[in-house]
Structure 1
Amino acid sequence: MIREDRFLISRKSFAIDLSTIEGEQQAVGDRYAYSGHANAVWFRRKDGTTRACLGTLGLWSHYLTEPLDLSDPLNVLRANLDGRYGGDCHGRWDGERYWGAQKPFEQALHLTLLEPMLANYPVIPDGYDGWWTFQTA
């Protein structure tokens, strides 16, 4: 992944909770495969409406040339990871409508993050590191 200094919605960037990065790796011939995930937040725009999203981001690669230091979250993120599927959205807020969890307590938890996130667009929420993208320059 690539960490960028400024946010551009077109780059499909994510802010990641570094403390939630988990994964496993294994040797595959002369290469290494990594499969993991992390909690993340992101912004997306549809039909002119900006949405704040939270969920899980899949982190994986089948073709790493050397093993990752799994004790260093930044080392994991800087690897040549594949993110073609983007984030798995668990909750989304567009300023008017919420989509996501059905349990009222979970909805309330999501909205305590998503409402201020959208109101302060594109500021990275506390506890997250960003902006990270899978897209090359």
Structure 2
Amino acid sequence: MIREDRFLISRRPYAIDLTSLQVGEPTESGRYWAMANAVWFRRHSKGHGEGRRVITVACIGTLRDLQDSKPADTRAFLTAYTDGRYGGDCQGRWDGERYWGAQKPETIEEHLELLRPMLANFPDLPGGYDGWWRF
């Protein structure tokens, strides 16, 4: 991934919690699953027919990758992460009206505590996140 200071939604960037890196035990092939928490904005179509419109949504989830060597830190993980075909694993999404994601009330509350102000302050970075990272 490449870090950019400027936000461009067309580049599909992510903001990363640099303290959240998790690395698993090596696989049989000697590779490592690693992941970090992320948030991002995306554009989505809402409605049907002539009432269809494009809206911005705020998402929370993780970026996960199988890497050849154990990453020393989150920046090393992100630098080695080069295949963005699948994007982030979205665990919650807020469109300003509706929430999609977790089923546990406490997880929903945690997500909305971050996603509501994130969407309201679009495109600013939420506190505690580093951005913008893109493939």
TM-score range normalised by the length of the shorter chain: 0.7 to 0.9
Q: Which SS does the other structure have where 2:80 is aligned?
A: coil
Q: Could you tell which deviates more after superposition, 74-83 or 106-115?
A: 74-83
2:36 to 28, 35, 38: 38
Contact 2:6 2:132 in 1 (8 A): yes
- 1:55 matches 2:53: no
1:49-93 CA deviation, whole Å, 9 max, x = no partner? Answer: 10000011113345xxxx56x333222212253221111111100
- For 1:87, give the aligned amino acid: G
With the length of structure 1 as denominator, give the TM-score of the two structures: 0.81
Give the length in aligned residue pairs: 126
- For 1:128, give the aligned amino acid: Y
Contact 2:96 2:119 in 1 (8 A): yes
Find the aligned partners of 1:9 and 1:60 in 2 and give their Cα distance: 26
Query: How far has the Cα of 1:104 moved from its partner?
Result: 1.6
Q: Indicate the residue corresponding to 1:118 in structure 2.
A: 119
Contact 1:60 1:82 in 2 (8 A): no
Q: Which SS does the other structure have where 1:121 is aligned?
A: coil
In structure 1, the gaps of 5 or more residues are: none
In structure 2, the gaps of 5 or more residues are: 46-53
Whichever structure has more strand as a proportion of its residues is 1
With the length of structure 2 as denominator, give the TM-score of the two structures: 0.82
Find the aligned partners of 1:127 and 1:92 in 2 and give their Cα distance: 19
Find the aligned partners of 2:65 and 2:2 in 1 and give their Cα distance: 13
Name segments (4+ residues, structure 1) moved above 3 Å. none
- 1:79 matches 2:80: yes
Q: Indicate the residue corresponding to 2:6 in structure 1.
A: 6
Q: Indicate the residue corresponding to 2:48 in structure 1.
A: none
Find the aligned partners of 2:114 and 2:67 in 1 and give their Cα distance: 30
- For 1:46, give the aligned amino acid: H
- For 1:45, give the aligned amino acid: R
Q: Indicate the residue corresponding to 2:16 in structure 1.
A: 16
Query: How far has the Cα of 1:119 moved from its partner?
Result: 0.3
Find the aligned partners of 1:91 and 1:7 in 2 and give their Cα distance: 21
